[in-house]
Amino acid sequence: MIEKSSKKAPAVLDLTVHQGSKKLEVTFAGGERFEIAFELMRIYSPSAEVQGHGPGQEVLQTGKRGVGILALEPVGNYAVQPTFTDGHDSGIFTWDYLYHLGSEQERLWRDYEKRLKEQGVHRDQDMASKPGAAGSSCGHSH
């Protein structure tokens, strides 16, 4: 699972979906502004499909470099739920989680590259062609 800082993120003032560069621009009330790649959002989606149901159950996502966002729906006043072009739509990205992704991008990318290497797969490999990729990781659909 992803280690998240316990620091509370400021409120989000603005969200802009940049389809050309495939990035979500997030501006926080504290003045911070991050451009988060859709791919990073997708590979670190907070959904059970990606994170699993507990430590050690994470599913390494591959083949997401070209993923886009079809829709970005608000969830209360605390989060958004994107629908990605690969059909994934179960991740709810809270303001805290978006702040984490934005502020920790470099470390998250390094960790992702390390996990790819450890598992002997490459970033653009189709999920279906990965070893042990038959069906959902936890035995049921999300």
pLDDT digits (tens, 9 = 90+) for 127-140: 877 565 544 444 33
The answer to the question of residue 33 being in a domain is yes
The answer to the question of residue 66 being in a domain is yes
Full-model pTM: 0.85
The domain total for the chain is: 1
15-26: average pLDDT:
97
The answer to the question of residue 43 being in a domain is yes
Collect all residues with Cβ–Cβ distance below 8 Å to 98 and sequence separation of at least 6: 9, 12, 24, 26, 34, 36, 80
At residue 53, the pLDDT reads 87
The answer to the question of residue 142 being in a domain is no
For 53-87, write each residue's pLDDT tens digit.
Answer: 888 889 999 999 999 999 999 999 999 999 999 99
Q: Domain range spanning residue 55?
A: 12-129
Q: What is the 3-state secondary structure (H, E, C) of 56-105?
A: CCCCCCCCCCCCCEEEEEEECCCEEEEEECCCCCCCCEEHHHHHHHHHCH
Looking at residue 108, the DSSP 8-state letter turns out to be H
Q: Give the CA angle between residues 127, 131, 137 to the nearest 5°.
A: 65
Q: Give the CA angle between residues 25, 30, 46 to the nearest 5°.
A: 50
What CATH number did the domain enclosing 106 receive? 3.30.2020.30
The answer to the question of residue 44 being in a domain is yes
The answer to the question of residue 37 being in a domain is yes
The answer to the question of residue 62 being in a domain is yes
At residue 130, the pLDDT reads 59
The answer to the question of residue 100 being in a domain is yes
